[in-house]
Structure 1
Amino acid sequence: MADGKVDKGKRVEIVNDDEPDEWDKRIFSTGCAVENAKMTDCYYEKKDWRVCKKEMEAFRECWKRNGNVQRTEERRI
């Protein structure tokens, strides 16, 4: 509450979900989860991708280094 009082009538249930979801599994499989987290954290804090060029470049280099370009490129039949 804004005035410092606590509303005892409301209960907040906190769910402790340590299991990785599909997004987490995909990011971890790239080998670039740390770089991805730094990049998204930067954007969350700054709200401007232009300020996060260093983090974006680190993610891009990790992506290439781990062979994700070839793994995820479009395949034509």
Structure 2
Amino acid sequence: MSNDEKKAATVQNAEDDDDPDDWDKRIFSTGCSEENAKLTDCYYEKKDWRVCKKEMEIFRRCWKAHGNDKRTGMKDA
């Protein structure tokens, strides 16, 4: 394989990776993908959910506002 072919394959793999997978599609369908990303980023950076209470509450309000609690049968604890 030539260098040009390797570069083309690398670009193609990167483009394929940008396509939404099933997980992404499910998150986007909730209407709360941005809130989910912020919550996930917080946890990734802090490694402690307790530090991410603000992000969790914002995600929770979004989740309820979009009716996802009814759709998934989720109940508040």
TM-score grouping bracket, smaller chain normalisation: 0.7 to 0.9
Give the superposition deviation at 1:25. 0.3
Measured in 2, the distance between the counterparts of 1:69 and 1:18 equals: 29
Counterpart of 2:72, as a letter, is: T
Structure 2 residue runs without a partner (length 5+): 1-5
User: Structure 1 length normalisation: TM-score?
Assistant: 0.76
Per the alignment, residue 42 of structure 2 pairs with 42
SS of equivalent residue, structure 1 residue 31: coil
Structure 1 residue runs without a partner (length 5+): 1-10
Identity value in percent: 71
Measured in 2, the distance between the counterparts of 1:29 and 1:54 equals: 22
Structure 1 residues 18-77: Cα deviation after superposition (integer angstroms, max 9, x where no partner): 210000000000000000000000000000000000000000000000000111117xxx
Per the alignment, residue 4 of structure 1 pairs with none
2:41 pairs with 1:67: no
Computed over aligned residues only, the root mean square deviation of the Cα atoms, in angstroms, reads 1.7
User: Structure 2 length normalisation: TM-score?
Assistant: 0.76
**Pairing of 1:1-77 with structure 2 (within 5 A):** 13=10, 15-16=13-14, 17-73=17-73
Counterpart of 2:29, as a letter, is: S
Q: Count the aligned residue pairs.
A: 63
